[in-house]
Amino acid sequence: MTLPVDVSVDRYSVSCLPKDHPLAAIYTLYVVYRRNLDGWVVTDGVANLDRAGNRLWPSVSGPAERARYTFASEVEALEVARGCAAVMTVEGRSVADVVVGWTVPGAHAVGGDA
């Protein structure tokens, strides 16, 4: 007997850093479908982000707040994630600061005087 198999995409990774960059995991956002919210969220792995990049911890949010951080479509959530990824700052270092000077193996340095 062959059982039906459901395949769905319910998580995307969004980053301005190459996957092989040593800090890529820290500067990556995720667009995730949340069945309990019947919508998509943009998350840094800890908190959800709204359109302006404001963070909200799901455990301390009420229904009205969760609505600000939930998107009806993955297209909308991916657009928000792209905008937030481009201006991410972690511990005072922007993603642009991290990219400058980083060299892909076999390539020239990005930015700086290299």
pLDDT per position as a tens digit, 66-113: 888 999 999 999 999 999 999 999 888 899 988 886 665 555 545 544
Q: Is residue 108 part of a domain?
A: no
Q: Is residue 75 part of a domain?
A: yes
Distance CA(47)–CA(32), nearest Å, equals 12
Using a cut of 0.85, tell me whether the model's pTM lies above it: no
Query: For 27-81, how does the pLDDT look when each residue is reduced to its tens digit (9 = 90+)?
Result: 999 999 999 888 999 999 999 999 999 998 877 667 887 888 999 999 999 999 9
Q: Is residue 37 part of a domain?
A: yes
Q: Is residue 3 part of a domain?
A: no
Q: Is residue 55 part of a domain?
A: yes
Q: Is residue 104 part of a domain?
A: no
Q: What distances in angstroms separate CA 26 from CA 35, 44, 55, one per listed residue?
A: 25, 8, 15
The tally of domains found in the chain comes to 1
Which residues form the domain of 59? Answer: 11-99
Q: Is residue 35 part of a domain?
A: yes
Q: Is residue 112 part of a domain?
A: no
